[in-house]
Structure 1
């Protein structure tokens, strides 16, 4: 190899190495940009929100922590420390909902409840499960997970998969593992 060719190779290497380092740096900046997309745009601790419709309270939401991701492509609100939600029907009857974790998806009006999910109606009916979805628009709950449904008048039922409206007046069981005693308030 001639001396001139060696010098050219050395100079090329000398200028190429910083170019590759700068590419690595730019790549890391791009990674940070996309990672920051999932940073919450808002955070709140110890919240207590009241939702109203025509001057009447329709729901009360309490949570120790709320993270708002409204600037991402599919916006959502996360409740990493769980929720305590009270729903009110037209006659002011209450339905109480608790879970260890929840995510509310803004585009679909769906809420994903996870971990020790418990729903209790004012008249004592209760459902427990590990995951439950709530369709806010249709006021309908559903899960494919194992559940336990207890009605003070008809006893307990366990199974896998259930869907029902918020006041338990319409309940559809899927794979039942026990006896179902139909009460006057529950339509199967």
Structure 2
């Protein structure tokens, strides 16, 4: 009867562990490469000026110093890492202006996430300011849970959490404080 010594068992275990380690390391490097390639932009543009039209009428103009398009990922999006300036037009040609230091638009949801010194102004002299704001392109509706400041000719108000139409005609605030002139 032949017995295997403890030294041989330890050697076999060590050799097997080293084999596993090297085979996993090679596979891990492949996974890293595929993950890195997945978030490489499929398109990149500098100094863009895009006009969106519908039935021959300009709906909006987007200007940005940098655009990165991630169209080939599972959840496609377009990123504007250096901010945006957008002009929105209503049916009567009235303008609403939107600026932010960063923006990302998600293609499958028509949702835009605006971040960093977000400002919305219009021709009526109204100004909305916050640090993060979402825009639902399909419904033309803005919303945030962050603190905000709203200034118009009637006064200044502050709050946290609000949603509103792009023309400021409908505003639903969760909490508001400030001075507003009563028009009744």
Same fold (TM over 0.5): yes
Relative distance call for 1:163 and 1:8 in structure 2 (3 A) is: closer
Q: Counterpart in 2 of 1:66?
A: 67
Q: Is 1:121 the equivalent of 2:116?
A: no
CA–CA distance in structure 2, aligned partners of residues 105 and 6 of structure 1: 60
Q: Distance in 2 between matches of 1:170 and 1:15?
A: 69
**Within the alignment, does 1:175 sit opposite 2:175 as a pair?**
yes
Q: Which moved more, 1:12-21 or 1:115-124?
A: 12-21
- What is the alpha-carbon distance in structure 2 between the residues aligned to residue 151 and residue 58 of structure 1? 24
Residue 164 in structure 1 maps to residue 164 in structure 2: yes
1:37-60 alpha-carbon deviations (Å, 9 max, x no partner): 111111111110000000111000
CA distance in 2: counterparts of 1:55 and 1:164, whole angstroms: 27
**Cα offsets for 1:62-119 (capped at 9, x unmatched):** 0011111111111111111110000000101000000000010111111010100000
**TM-score normalised by structure 1 residue count:** 0.86
Give, in whole Å, the separation in 2 of the partners of 1:104 and 1:88: 19
Q: How far, CA to CA, are the matches of 1:130 and 1:115 in structure 2? A: 5
Matches within 5 A, 1:8-47: 17=18, 20-47=21-48
- In the TM superposition, residue 144 of structure 1 has moved relative to its aligned partner by 1.1
Relative to structure 1, the CA distance from residue 150 to residue 6 in structure 2 (aligned partners, 3 Å threshold; closer, same or farther) is: closer
Paired position in structure 1 for 2:54: 53
Instruction: Give the Cα–Cα distance (whole angstroms) in 2 for the partners of residues 114 and 169 of structure 1.
Output: 23
Please name the residue that 2:95 is paired with: 94
| Cα distance, 1:2 vs structure 2 | 8.3
Q: Any gaps of 5 or more consecutive residues in structure 1? A: none
Query: 2:105 and 2:182 mapped to 1: Cα distance?
Result: 33
Q: Which runs of 5+ in 2 are unaligned?
A: none
